[in-house]
Amino acid sequence: MTNTHKIALSIIIPAYNEALCVEGIYHDVVKNVELLGCSFEIIYVDDGSLDQTFEIVNRIAQSDTRVKGLRFSRNFGKESAIFAGLQECQGECAVVMDCDGQHPPELIDEMYKLWKTGAYDIISGQSIQKDVNGALQYICTRLFYFITRKLTGVNLKNDSDFKLLDRKVVNEIVRFKERTRFFRGLAQWVGFRQCYIPFTVRPRKAGDTKWSFKSLIGLAVDAITTFTAQPLLWTAYLGIFGIIIASIMVIEAFLEKALGLAVEGWPTLIIVVTFFGSTILLALGIIGIYLMKIYDELKERQHYIISHKVGNMKPDS
């Protein structure tokens, strides 16, 4: 491979209220990456944390010039933090990993050596053990994987944000202009030569997860609407289905009337009104989601705002 960058490996670590984990993941990464004998940088992206996350990053950067830090002016979300890190990184390849220690730093060694063979451009960590908070989240997660695969052709089952990307892949991804971006899906969508390395999800080093069931639902909606407009077609299918059901009920009503079996009352009317009302509201909701996405895109606001930087940044940053 042509060595066009002074830094061989960039490690990008998004963080939100991870003051208890920042220093620990730093030591773990350095201990493992130094064994590779290559030049590297560690880029923390503080996604508007309310604790001491960035202060600790700043302290580490003062003692280690290989460490850099970006701080958002507010919480813009993990996806924006990942793309800010990709925009800033200077390595010939870049690894994205979580700050909480659930992505094992030892796997970076295997990823990097596999990349050095020149056989792959994207190397993804595939979790073989996934902690879920109850049966409902497990069912919703599996349903999300199924729907995404059927609608978009992107298989996200057990996929993770723990990935190594070649420089040419990074350059392509940071060129994307859309506001709503889903890193895992885009990493598959760009193509290139890809492979997977299984890993076991570890317990958090400290603190509690920042993901709630509501945020996971939001991520699922973003992932699906980013990669397909098929749900809009569903509204037409719902209309056709509603017409079929209504036609059957009309025929049934005529038959009951002809046979003298008709029952006085409003049950049938209530069922029809409820069914069509729910169908219309669902269709409007789906259309509304896409209109909201279009509205966000048309505003053309920046994806994030950086309020502070520490460390040796890119010359043009």
d(CA 231, CA 224): 9
pLDDT at 61 over 60: yes
User: Residue 52 is encoded by which pair of tokens?
Assistant: 């001491």
Structural fold of domain 9-211+303-310: Spore Coat Polysaccharide Biosynthesis Protein SpsA; Chain A (3.90.550)
Q: Domain locations in the chain?
A: 9-211+303-310, 230-299
DSSP assignment letter at 120 = -
For residues 108 and 188, the model is more confident at 108
Which range in 55-59, 146-150, 156-160 is most confidently predicted, on average pLDDT?
55-59
d(CA 201, CA 237): 40
Q: Which of 16-30, 162-176, 222-236 has the lowest mean pLDDT?
A: 222-236
Three-class SS state of 124: strand
CA dihedral 132, 159, 182, 13 (to 10 degrees): 80
Task: Name the strand (E) or helix (H) holding 125.
Answer: strand 122-129
pLDDT at 211 over 60: no
Three-class SS state of 179: coil
Q: Helix (H) and strand (E) counts for the chain?
A: 10, 8
Q: Which of 102-106, 193-197, 256-260 has the lowest mean pLDDT?
A: 256-260
Q: What is the mean pLDDT of the chain?
A: 77
Mean pLDDT over 162-174 rounds to 90
Q: Which of 163, 173, 184 is nearest to 120 (CA)?
A: 163
Separation of CA 212 from chain center: 14
Q: Which of 178, 215, 174 is nearest to 85 (CA)?
A: 174
pLDDT at 150: 66
d(CA 40, CA 165): 14
pLDDT at 11 over 90: yes
pLDDT at 1: 40
pLDDT at 303 over 80: no
Locate tokens 């925009």: which residue?
87
pLDDT at 284: 74
pLDDT at 141 over 80: no
pTM for the whole structure: 0.70
Helical segments of 96-229, H only: 106-116, 135-152, 167-173, 183-189, 213-227
User: Residue 288 is encoded by which pair of tokens?
Assistant: 């509304």
pLDDT at 128 over 80: no
Q: How confident is the model at residue 42 (pLDDT cuts 50, 70, 90)?
A: very high
pLDDT at 111 over 80: yes
